[in-house]
Amino acid sequence: MDTAPTETRTIPAAKKVGMVSLGCPKALVDSERILTKLRADGYAMSADYSGADVVLVNTCGFLDSAKEESLAAIGEAIAENGRVIVTGCMGNEAEQIRERFPAVLAVTGAHQYEDVVEAVHEAAPPSQGPFVDLIPARADLADVKLTPRHYGYLKISEGCNHSCAFCIIPQLRGKLASRRVDAVLREAEKLVAAGTRELLVISQDTSAYGVDIKHEAREWKGREVRAHMTDLAQALGQLKTPDGQRPWVRLHYVYPYPHVDAVIPLMAEGLVTPYLDIPFQHAAPSVLKAMKRPANEAKVLERLQRWREICPDIAVRSSFVVGFPGETEADFEYLLEWLDEAQLDRVGGFRFETVEGAAANDLPGQVPEELKEERYARLMEKTEAISAAKLAAKVGRTIPVIIDEVGEADEDGDIGATGRSEADAPEIDGNVFLRDVSAEMRPGDIVNVLIEDADAHDLFGVPAE
C-alpha cells in the first residue's frame, strides 16, 4: 500500500535577547528579573550584539555623568545591532533619548518589568510555532543571574522616602515600596539552595524596610516574621547551604537609624556578616543640613565605638561627597578630622555633580571644579592611610575568605586565587590574593586564610589548612 511521505517541519530557533545593564546593583536585579521573565516566555539570551534579535539597555540616570554613559551605551547598541529597547532610570527622559536616537524601538522607566517585556514581544515576537507554544514553560528553570553563581543580590524594596538635595531617586523610582517578607525569604532560600554562598541585601534604604507596610508580619517556617530589617536579618541568618553552612549575609545601604544597633549582636553571633554599608555622605553639620541629611555626626562616633565593643571585627564602609554647594574649607577639614576619629574600614569618594531635577543645583556657593578635585585627592589620601593601617593590623591573623576566582597553574605548578574577606563586598571593596591554593579549590569556597601582607586596599595570604 502506498503511503504519503511525511512532511518534515523545521522549528524556528528561539528569539534571542541581548542585555546591557548599567548602574547600581539594584538596576542589575531589575535586569535579572526582566531576563528571567523573557526566558519563561521562550526567549534565549545572546552574549553579543550580532546574535541578538533585540538588545535591551538598562540605563542609569542618577548623575549627569551616568546619563552620558547610558547614552553612549544606547548609541553603541544601535550601531552594533540597530534594534534597541531602553529601560531603567533614564527611561523617565524618553524625549531626550528619542531625540538623540530616533531609531530606538521603545523606552520604559525603572522597574517597569511588564512594559519592557511587552516591548520585547512587539519587537521580536517569541513564537516558535503553534506546537512549541503549547508546551508549558518549565517550572524548574532557575532565575537568570548576572552575577557569579556563588553570590547574589537580594532586593528587599524599591524607592525611597528621603528628599536629599543632591538626589533624584524618588523621582526615578518612587517612594518606598517594600516587598513581603515571606517573598524575600523564599527568594533568599531559593538562591542559597542553588549555590549562592553570599547574599547581598540591597535597597535604597535597607533600614526603612517595611515602614510603608507597617512592618506587617508573615508566616515563615512556622513562625511570624515582621517586614523589618532586624527580623529579616535574623531570618536570613538561619538559612543553610546544601552542605549545612550559613551563607554570608551582607547588608548594604543601611541608614543609621536607632534600630540598627539591634543588628550588631547578630553579627557577633555569626548570623550576619560583620559589615555595614552606611551612606554618611558628609560629617560637617552645615553641609549635612544643606544636603537635607541627618546631622548627628557626634552620636554616630559614639555608636561606632559601641558597635566595635560588641563586634570587634565589624567593618563599616561609606561614601562621601566633596564639593557640595556651600562646602567651606572648614567644613572639609571637619570631615577629615571626623574620619580620623571614625576610622572607617572602606570609603568611597565622589565629587559633587549636578543632576537635572535635584534641589542642590540651585544652592548658592557652587564649588569650583579644580577645588573639588583638590579636596577629592585629599579625601582619598586620608582614607587610604586609614585603610592601609587597618589592613596592616590583619597581617598574621587567620580570617575567612570567600573565593571569587581560581587561576591556572604556572610553570612551577603553583596556583593562585582571588577572594574577599568579610570586610569586602564584590566590585566595590578590596580583594584577598592567595598563593599556593589547592587544584580542587572552586569559586564560592569559604576558606581560612593566613594573612601574610597588605597594602592600602588589598590583603595577601595563603590557605591556613
Which of 392, 411, 442 lies at the terminal end of a domain, its last residue? 392
Kindly state the average pLDDT of the residues 409-418: 87
Residues 217 and 303 in one domain: yes
Which of 133, 167, 188 lies at the terminal end of a domain, its last residue? 133
List all residues 6 or more positions away from 368 whose beta carbon is below 8 Å from its beta carbon: none
pLDDT of residue 3: 54
The pLDDT-based confidence of 61 (bands split at 50, 70, 90) is: confident
Residues 252 and 386 in one domain: yes
Q: How many CB atoms lie within 10 A of CB 145?
A: 19
State yes or no: pLDDT of 171 exceeds 70.
Answer: yes
Residues 270 and 296 in one domain: yes
Residues 260 and 385 in one domain: yes
Residues 57 and 183 in one domain: no
Which of 344, 362, 392 lies at the terminal end of a domain, its last residue? 392
The pLDDT-based confidence of 129 (bands split at 50, 70, 90) is: very low
428-455 confidence digits (pLDDT tens): 999 999 999 999 999 999 999 999 999 9
Residue 223 lies in a domain: yes
Residue 4 lies in a domain: no
Kindly state the average pLDDT of the residues 145-150: 81
pLDDT greater at residue 415 or residue 127: 415
CATH code of residue 265 = 3.80.30.20
State yes or no: pLDDT of 403 exceeds 70.
Answer: yes
The pLDDT-based confidence of 296 (bands split at 50, 70, 90) is: low
Residues 318 and 441 in one domain: no
201-251 confidence digits (pLDDT tens): 999 899 999 999 999 999 999 999 999 999 999 999 999 999 899 999 999
State yes or no: pLDDT of 424 exceeds 90.
Answer: yes
Q: How many domains does the chain divide into?
A: 3
CATH code of residue 405 = 2.40.50.140
pLDDT greater at residue 378 or residue 144: 378
pLDDT of residue 12: 62
Dihedral over Cα of 416, 419, 421, 424: its sign: positive
pLDDT of residue 73: 92
pLDDT of residue 130: 44
Residues 280 and 170 in one domain: yes
Residue 385 lies in a domain: yes
pLDDT of residue 140: 47
Residues 289 and 387 in one domain: yes
Span between the terminal Cα atoms of the chain, in Å: 76
The pLDDT-based confidence of 265 (bands split at 50, 70, 90) is: very high
Residues 52 and 178 in one domain: no
18-48 confidence digits (pLDDT tens): 999 888 888 888 888 888 888 888 888 888 8
Residue 146 lies in a domain: no
pLDDT greater at residue 379 or residue 42: 379
Any idea which of 25-29, 62-66, 264-268 has the lowest mean pLDDT? 62-66
pLDDT of residue 397: 96
Q: Which structural domain, as residue segments, surrounds residue 86?
A: 16-133
Residues 404 and 388 in one domain: no
Q: Find the angle CA(150)-CA(117)-CA(172) to the nearest 5 degrees.
A: 80
Residues 343 and 387 in one domain: yes
Residues 175 and 274 in one domain: yes
- What average pLDDT does the structure give for the chain? 88
List all residues 6 or more positions away from 417 whose beta carbon is below 8 Å from its beta carbon: 403, 405, 406, 407, 433, 434, 437, 441
State yes or no: pLDDT of 356 exceeds 90.
Answer: no
pLDDT of residue 297: 63
| Cβ–Cβ < 8 Å for 133, 12 | no
83-103 confidence digits (pLDDT tens): 999 998 888 788 888 989 999
